[in-house]
Structure 1
Amino acid sequence: MSTENLQEEKKYNKWIVALSVIIPLAVAALFGIKLKDFGIDVEPLTFLPPIYAAINAVTAIVLVYAVISIKKGQRKQHENLMKFAITLSVLFLVMYVAYHMTSDSTKFGGEGAIKYIYYFILITHIVLSVAVIPFVLITYVRAITNNFERHKKIAKITFPLWLYVAVTGVIIYIMISPYYV
């Protein structure tokens, strides 16, 4: 790896750190804000959960297809699929925040073992959705700075984390959907 590529990669470090902190904090802050509390009369966006669950499903499929593409040596297709996966994740995040700013959170109503399974999946999903942000950003930066060996190393960690977050997002929706009002 050239020092030029490494220097180029390092230029992005401040952005990676900033976004890795700002995104979860902003989501947490906005999650707690209800527009109606500020006198903004907005209909609850109750139609969004199945849409953003579908976006999670598509993201998971895109991630798998992107890995298959790179293994076949289809670098440009892999690049396009990864950009699409990032776009889908941003779209999910916007819809998720919009839903929670206009609607009350839904409580899981299951009992017994299923309740513990749900909360295990939910907690690991939330923790890993925060943890995956810097991994995605670092992986992306290493690709755009042509540090492909370093990109490949971290992508082996990023892929399963991101895939887990996408798939568990769908599972969480399926498990909680009977309890939506």
Structure 2
Amino acid sequence: MGMTEAEKKYKNIIWILSILIPLAVAALFVINLRKMGYDVQPLSFLPPIYASINGLTAVLLVWAVSAVKKGNTSLHETLIKVCMACSSLFLLMYVAYHMTSDSTPYGGEGFIRYVYYFILFTHIVLSIAIIPFVLFTFVRGIAGAYERHKKLARITYPMWLYVAVTGVIVYLMISPYYNH
């Protein structure tokens, strides 16, 4: 079966977002409002909030999959929409924090340092890769292309869950090194 009209309609938007979002986040490594001379307060209160949003997203994803396996597609759809809203809110807070705050170097030593950087690296790579997967999976579900939605969701779900969970782990590992 070919693409639905909704998939055709949103395909270009999904690919544009899949490129622009990672580029915007990458720009954070060179754009810092405070370093550019703007008088803004660092939003240092945001990391525990957006880490909690990642944790909530993970719980909601598991619940959404459980709901659809039990045949409750309405609850599944609602939970996935909330997950997407949470991920969007996370992204906005992450961008706001990094535009107003200095980067925090990880201070752990020895083997745990390698563990941290492995988790961080895989989290970053999959957080980029997951964008088109989530969006195409969502559009397929909303468009009623359920078999194709289900097939893609089998790939999307574990990646999205991994990104949400490792977001919390990265925060917990680096939080002792934040300057408060």
TM-score, structure 1 as length reference: 0.95
Partner of 1:118: 116
Partner of 1:62: 60
Partner of 2:130: 132
Give, in angstroms, the shift of residue 29 of structure 1.
1.1
Partners of 2:115 and 2:146 in 1: CA distance: 38
User: Does the CA contact (< 8 Å) of 2:34 and 2:101 recur in 1?
Assistant: no
Give, in angstroms, the shift of residue 179 of structure 1.
0.6
Sort the Cα spacing of 1:31 and 1:77 in 2 relative to 1 into closer, same or farther, 3 A: farther
Partner of 2:26: 28
SS at match of 2:35: helix
Alpha-carbon RMSD across the aligned residues, in angstroms, is 1.2
1:86-165 alignment, distance < 5 Å: 86-165=84-163
Partners of 2:89 and 2:77 in 1: CA distance: 18
SS at match of 1:109: coil
Match of 1:13 among 1, 11, 34: 11
Deviations 1:114-136 (A, max 9, x none): 00000000000000000000000
Runs of 4 or more, structure 1, over 3 Å off, are none
Partner of 1:83: 81
Q: What is the total number of aligned residue pairs between the two structures?
A: 179
The one-letter code matched in structure 2 to 1:41 is: D
SS at match of 1:168: helix
User: Does the CA contact (< 8 Å) of 2:138 and 2:149 recur in 1?
Assistant: yes
Give, in angstroms, the shift of residue 26 of structure 1.
1.1
Match of 2:168 among 167, 170, 175: 170
Structure 2 unmatched runs, 5+: none
Structure 1 unmatched runs, 5+: none
SS at match of 1:35: coil
TM-score, structure 2 as length reference: 0.96
1:32-43 alignment, distance < 5 Å: 32-43=30-41
